[in-house]
Chain A
Amino acid sequence: MLLQTKGISKAFGGINAVVDFSFEVEEKEILGLIGPNGAGKTTVFNLLTGYYDVDRGRVWFDDKYITGWKPHMIAQRGLVRTFQSTEYLFFGHTVLENVLMAKRTFFESGVCSNLIGLPKGRKEERKCREEALELLRFMGLEEVKDTFADNLPHGLQRILGVAIGLAAKPRLLLLDEPMTGMNPGEKRVMTKLVSRIRDKGITIVMIEHDMRSVMEICDRLVVINFGHKLCEGIPEEVKENPDVIEAYLGKRHGSYSG
Chain B
Amino acid sequence: MKKSNWLLILAAAVTVTLPFFTRDAFQLHLLIVCGIYVVLAVSLNLIFLTGQLSIAHGAVMGIGAYTSALLSLKLHWPVLFCIPLGAVVSGLIGFIIGIMVLRITGIYFAIVTFAFGEIVVLVFLTWESLFGGANGLLNIPAPVLELPGPGALSFSSKTAYYYLILLTVFLTLFVFHRFDVSYLGRSCRAIAKSEKLAESTGISAMYYKLLAFSVGNLFAGLAGALYAHYLHYIGPGYFSFSESVHIIVATVIGGVGTLLGPILGAVFLTLLPEFLRGTKDFEMIIYAIILILVLMFMPQGLYGGVLSAKRRFLDRRKRGPDAVTN
Contacts and interface: CB of A to CB of B under 8 A. Distances in A.
Interface of A: 49, 51, 70-73, 75-76, 80-83, 88-93, 97, 100-107, 111, 114-117, 121, 125, 128, 164-165, 167-168
B139 interface: no
A90 B193 contact: yes
B202 A165 contact: no
B144 interface: no
B182 A125 contact: yes
Given A88-B200, A101-B190, A121-B182, 5 more contacts: A101-B186, A101-B187, A103-B201, A114-B179, A168-B201
21 contacts: A70-B199, A72-B199, A72-B205, A73-B204, A75-B201, A75-B202, A88-B196, A88-B197, A90-B189, A93-B189, A105-B202, A111-B211, A114-B183, A115-B175, A115-B178, A115-B184, A117-B174, A117-B178, A125-B182, A164-B197, A165-B201
Contacts of A70: 199, 204
A114 B176 CA distance: 10
Contact-size category for B = 20 to 34
A237 to B, nearest CB: 33
Contacts of B28: none
B201 A164 contact: yes
Given A80-B200, A83-B200, A90-B194, A104 B183 contact: yes
Given A93-B189, A101-B186, A114-B183, A51 B196 contact: yes
A83 B199 CA distance: 12
A81 B182 CA distance: 25
B298 interface: no
Contacts of B183: 100, 103-104, 106-107, 114, 125, 128
Nearest to B207: A72
A22 to B, nearest CB: 24
A54 B20 CA distance: 68
Contact of B199 (A75, A91, A117, A165): A75
Given A104-B183, A111-B184, A114-B183, A80 B201 contact: yes
A224 to B, nearest CB: 22
B70 interface: no
Given A90-B190, A114-B182, A125-B182, A104 B201 contact: yes
Contacts of B175: 115-116
B178 A116 contact: yes
B110 interface: no
A105 B197 CA distance: 14
A168 B182 contact: no
A88 B202 contact: no
Interface string B126-150: 0000000000000000000000000
B198 A101 contact: yes
Contacts of B196: 51, 83, 88
